């Protein structure tokens, strides 16, 4: 019966496994061999950690590594390099969502707009909602260690956001979130 749970919910099981790996990475931070390995990856490792920061299944691992490296490297260089890595990941998602899911987003928008509650909100505040609320929600998701995919999907569905604007916003938000993680890492390190 337990095997069926793993087969029935493989993504949830995989997410829980990545959280367990992140816990063990952070727990192992005081083992010299492990810490030496992380330090040996240098700034390339930090960049790769930034790439992983945006993906749902690897964000927890990335946060654990950033917490460990916070005391070892210049916090500003680390934050910027990891932020650039996160930006590249987000741009890949943004282009993928914007261009590959365009037809499905239109269908979902039409289906959602037929709901009574959505019709009421849309009639009253549609422009205000799209102009202010959705970008803020998408931005908060991107800035947090939560998986960026949902925030990017929200922003990619807005026609008013260009790739350039998205790039600036993504970099600033991801880098800000990474700096917060690095500051937490410094305080607990």
Question: Using one digit for the tens of pLDDT, what is the confidence trace for 5-54?
Answer: 666 777 777 777 888 888 888 887 777 888 888 888 899 999 999 999 98
Half-sphere exposure of 26 (CA within 13 A, CB side): 17
Name which of 51, 54, 17, 58 is nearest 142 in CA terms: 54
Provide the whole-model pTM: 0.77
Confidence of residue 75 (pLDDT cuts 50, 70, 90): very high
Per DSSP, the three-state class of 171 is helix
Which of 11-20, 64-73, 105-114 ranks highest by mean pLDDT? Answer: 64-73
Q: In angstroms, what is the C-alpha Rg of the chain?
A: 19
In the chain, what percentage of residues exceed pLDDT 70?
79
Rounded Cα distance, 63 and 177, in Å: 10
Confidence of residue 154 (pLDDT cuts 50, 70, 90): confident
Sequence-distant contacts of 14-19: CB under 8 A, at least 24 apart:
14/57, 15/56, 15/57, 18/57, 18/58, 18/60, 18/61, 19/60
pLDDT computed for residue 97 by the predictor? 79
Check whether 189 has a pLDDT greater than 60. yes
Where do the H-state alpha helices sit in 28-115? Answer: 32-40, 42-53, 59-69, 75-100, 102-113
Buried b (16+ CB within 10 A) or exposed e, 106-118: eeeeeeeeeeeee
Total structural domains within the chain: 1
Rounded Cα distance, 133 and 126, in Å: 10
Range of the domain at 100: 2-188
**Both tokens of residue 115?**
């709901």
Rounded Cα distance, 1 and 33, in Å: 39
**Both tokens of residue 160?**
């008013």
Per the CB < 8 A criterion, the answer to whether 47 and 81 are in contact is yes
Mean pLDDT over 100-106 rounds to: 68
Name which of 70, 84, 77 is nearest 182 in CA terms: 70
């Amino acid at each position: 019966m337990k095997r069926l749970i793993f087969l029935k919910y493989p993504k949830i099981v995989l997410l829980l496994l990545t959280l367990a790996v992140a816990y063990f990475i952070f727990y192992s931070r005081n083992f010299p061999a492990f810490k030496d390995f992380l330090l040996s990856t240098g700034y390339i490792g930090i960049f790769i950690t930034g790439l992983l920061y945006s993906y749902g299944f690897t964000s927890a691992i990335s946060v654990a590594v950033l917490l460990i490296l916070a005391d070892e490297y210049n916090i500003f260089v680390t934050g910027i390099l990891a932020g650039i890595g996160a930006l590249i990941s987000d741009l890949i998602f943004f282009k993928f969502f914007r261009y590959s899911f365009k037809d499905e987003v239109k269908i979902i928008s039409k289906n959602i707009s037929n709901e009574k509650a959505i019709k009421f909100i849309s009639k009253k505040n549609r422009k205000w909602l799209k102009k202010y609320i959705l970008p803020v929600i998408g931005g908060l998701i991107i800035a947090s260690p939560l998986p960026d995919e949902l925030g990017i999907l929200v922003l990619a569905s807005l026609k008013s956001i260009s790739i350039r604007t998205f790039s600036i916003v993504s970099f600033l938000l991801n880098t800000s979130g990474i700096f917060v993680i690095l500051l937490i890492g410094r305080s607990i390190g």
